[in-house]
Structure 1
Amino acid sequence: MPGVNMCETTESGTGAGAASNPAVDRGVPAAPVERSLLDELVIANRVLFKHRVVDAFGHVSIRHDKDPERFLLARNMAPGLVTAEDIVEFHLDGTPVDAVGRSVYLERFIHGAIYRARPKVQAVVHSHAPAVVPFGVSASARLMPVWHMSGFLGLDTPVFEIRDVAGDATDLLIRSNRLGDALAASLGDACVVLMRGHGATVTGDSLRQAVFRAVYTQLNAELQLQAVQLGDVRYLTEGEVRTTTDSVGSQIDRAWNLWKCEVAN
């Protein structure tokens, strides 16, 4: 793992995704957590930054290994600068357990709502990956798998429209449990949901799977944007989606081990 960051991180708690005031803890003890879990969450943040899924904004969480009614997420800061000491524990309603006055992400409700709705989900990635955004705003083009690495997308990636829930004057951020629940409902049983004019949220049965899917969702979007310029795109079939999801999904550790080395140097 990298040592102390050479870049000083003093987040002000303002701006997109920030809390306007330091978070107020609920006043209950934090659950014990394995240091290895914290370290893996740090790696996930850095891998997502390295692969341009997130930049200064975006976040990744993991369900608590000792208490499924809690999750772990960094404080409000750029993902590429996260260390183990920056990880905060949350209840599924988004209330922090041990923020200790630190600012937290406004959109933590994305994570809590999905964990509530999908008990098997163990990790969530939210990003504003640029290549993905066009597929959330187009009325005709849908994000679909163009290669074997992204069969997990399925044939009908859902799109969340915040206007249907909160009108047409929001900042498009998921600032409440109500909006989080609506997003989780749009996600349904899928593993990726696009967010119109905003980005995407990706889930996984493990942290490594969620990161893998987030990286390859972005790459698929880039390839699809190139392919449609050539015309007559042939997407994966339903059968190919099932087969590639199983075969490629068994190789996630191969990618993770490479990515882990990349961000350790």
Structure 2
Amino acid sequence: MRLPAWLAQHLAALRALLVLTVLTGLIYPLAVLGIAQIPGLKHHATGSPVHRGGTTVASALIGQSFTGPDGKPLVQYFQTRPSAAGDGYDPTATAASNLGPESVVDTVPDPALTAAGKQDENAKQSLLTRVCARSKAAGDLDGVDGRRPYCTTDGVGAVLGVFHRDGLTGPVTRVVSLNQACPAAPFLSTYQGVAVQCAVYGEDYAKAVVTPIRGDAPARPAVPADAVTASGSGLDPDISPAYANLQATRIAKARGADVATIRKLIDEHTTGRALGFMGEPSVNAVQLNLALDQKYPLHQ
């Protein structure tokens, strides 16, 4: 007996659904799970957990913030790169800041809220100011020059809003340091003979020509780029050997160890380029800090 066309089509679709469900919902996942149990792969497939004393204390794939209850860096630990994932290294909120190189102007906070000790949710730091602030903080922490091009000495983007008589051209009539809210003193006193003003909350500077000022910072900053920029995932546990070695003197002092031995520990935890030519050498800061606690424990 020949089935009606509509019924034959539905039965064919049902068979295809069952076959694909078995293939993609059972056979394929079980095959991948079986392959993941192969020695050498199992550790990575289970999240690369790091154990100490029988307890899982970290994942080698996810960074951590080595800060105190006040949010300040703990001087006895290597600091990792910044994170834009949630409150920092949150696997459930993995993300980047999505700010690009043209993000140079801040949205200054409401001074009334600041004076009251409150946070202005509408205020926003540009990528440039974030980089400047992080570089200054890292420099202060490790006793090096934290200055960067296009940054002010107080750690914000050195950006002027320049008003011209004829819009984009003509003599300069007014200059505002866009990222330094009043009553801050502008990083420049004058620009092309015109006094530089601090930024006033609520004023519209849309007609100003945004003008970054390079300043006299060294061409190669002492603080490496990975110390001031977050990774795309916000979970990266790796830092550059340059950033790790920058922190060696501080770590040695805090741990009562010799700087040379700390640098040797860094070398032992440095991974070369993938396949010998891809990427850059890196140091897993989480594993490095765990090794630091093992070899040079803090005295209570």
Shorter-chain TM-score: what band? under 0.3
Structure with bigger gyration radius: 2
TM-score for the superposition, normalised by structure 2: 0.26
Select the structure that is richer in helix: 1
TM-score for the superposition, normalised by structure 1: 0.28
